[in-house]
Chain A
Amino acid sequence: MMTDLQDLVEGIGRGRKRAVARGLTWIERDSDQGKDLVRALFPMAGKAHIVGITGAPGVGKSTLVNRLTLALRNRGYRVGILAVDPSSPFTGGAILGDRIRMQESVMDQGVFMRSLASRGHLGGLSRATFGAVTLLDAAGFDCILIETVGAGQSEVEIMQLAHSTMVVLAPGLGDDIQAIKAGILEIGQIFIVNKADREGADHTARAIRGMLTLGMQHLEWFPPIIKTVAESGEGMEDVIAAIEQHRTYLKDSGRLEGIRDSQTRHLIELAVQDWATRALRLAEQNETVWRALREAVAVGKADAADAAKEIVDSAQRGGAPGGA
């Protein structure tokens, strides 16, 4: 059994599949073990290029990841894939089906693919995705592809994690005004119009270009818009070229450092949220006090912010609210 941290770190450093898989499980469990593991792996990471793939459900993200992986392998890159699917808000269960469309690529020894359930985390990723990227990076994967939950208009957390964010669209999914709404279209550094063999692909590409030229002309990096047919692999060379160009741009402009800083900032934010959530769970454990807090807010004796302060203060003292 692989339970010893040092063995696991060594196995991951050598890129052994079993060690990588077990390490990801530790991180997903969000235990102290998982945190120790990420801490130990952190100095080994920092070399991989992290690519986010996001877009609405059904635009072909998984198929694109499959084809892109094959093309990256042809160029000799080792590829790690994290694919996030939603957990049921009711039961916590999930169906993780991204592997169905990744059959050709994932058997390769130079590829590792893991399905992650969002486990209640909002924003299009799972909480464990951040640690999981560090692990795959430490395991020596050159390129890490992260496929988000099928995203609507506000699942933009991927930009806090990826070096290059690709927004995937398909023809026939809404009119021009959809393209100028705030949110997901603002985070794309590369745009993919997939299923480009279908009618309306040119129109979709034009709508994105129109949206981008509305006030983004001053940008140093103007996002390329690439037409692909992921099903047949058409356009993958163009996608890789765009990723490489974006990587070069980040390096030359010094923005790679800025990304590291924004990643760190986001990690601290997440840790604060984790901590507050733990304080809440702790408070919920003492039903008497927890009910008293709720009643006080319900009748207007206190407001929600007062209750929150009480909960956080108690957690800091190391106990439930109302405790000693």
Chain B
Amino acid sequence: MIRVLVAKPGLDGHDRGAKVIARALRDAGMEVVYTGLHQTPEQIVDAALQEDVDVLALSILSGAHPTLVPRIMDLVRENNMDDMLVLLGGIIPDDDVDNMMAAGIARVFGPGTDTQDIVDYIRERVPDDD
């Protein structure tokens, strides 16, 4: 069973996109932990650790990704959770994508992404071993 944490770091108050993704992953047969709005990097990584998820899917619309993402990835490494796939969605300018990948994000999914592409991407990279 593939387990995913869908998380909303930072202060933006819109989680429609995150909920659409959560629903699509559920309908693809995955178990999706959703933690709600306004999460700190510490809360998100702690939740991912306790839930032992295969995938962390971050949704950021506020423009705060240049500070939030590196902080989250530092905590991921501190906790030896490098085997977790970390994805980023939301409003991420093209110019920032390389920096996000360098910070450890596996893939950035922008507005208009077909949810099936996200499902396929996860299935290709995460072994479903039960």
Q: Which residues of chain A have a CB within 8 Å of any CB of chain B?
A: 1, 17-18, 20-22, 24-25, 28-31, 87-88, 91-97, 99-100, 103, 106-107, 112-115, 117, 119
Contacts of B80 in A (CB 8 A): 18
Contacts of A17 in B (CB 8 A): 49-50
In the complex, the answer to whether B31 meets A117 with C-beta atoms within 8 Å is: yes
Mostly, the A contact residues are mixed
Contacts of B42 in A (CB 8 A): 107
Q: In this complex, what residue of A is CB-closest to B40?
A: A107
In the complex, the answer to whether A91 meets B29 with C-beta atoms within 8 Å is: yes
Q: In this complex, what residue of B is CB-closest to A20?
A: B50
Q: Which residues of chain B have a CB within 8 Å of any CB of chain A?
A: 1, 22-23, 25-36, 42-43, 46-47, 49-52, 79-80, 83, 129-130
In the complex, the answer to whether A97 meets B34 with C-beta atoms within 8 Å is: yes
Minimum C-beta distance from A7 to chain B (A) = 13
A12→B68 CA distance, assembly (Å):
31
Minimum C-beta distance from A20 to chain B (A) = 8
Contacts of B47 in A (CB 8 A): 99, 106
Contacts of A28 in B (CB 8 A): 1, 130
Knowing A24-B52, A114-B50, A114-B51 touch, does A94 contact B36 (C-beta < 8 A)? no
Minimum C-beta distance from A63 to chain B (A) = 13
Knowing A25-B52, A88-B26 touch, does A107 contact B46 (C-beta < 8 A)? yes
Closest 8 CB pairs of A and B: A93-B26, A100-B36, A21-B52, A29-B130, A91-B29, A96-B33, A25-B52, A92-B29
A113→B46 CA distance, assembly (Å):
10
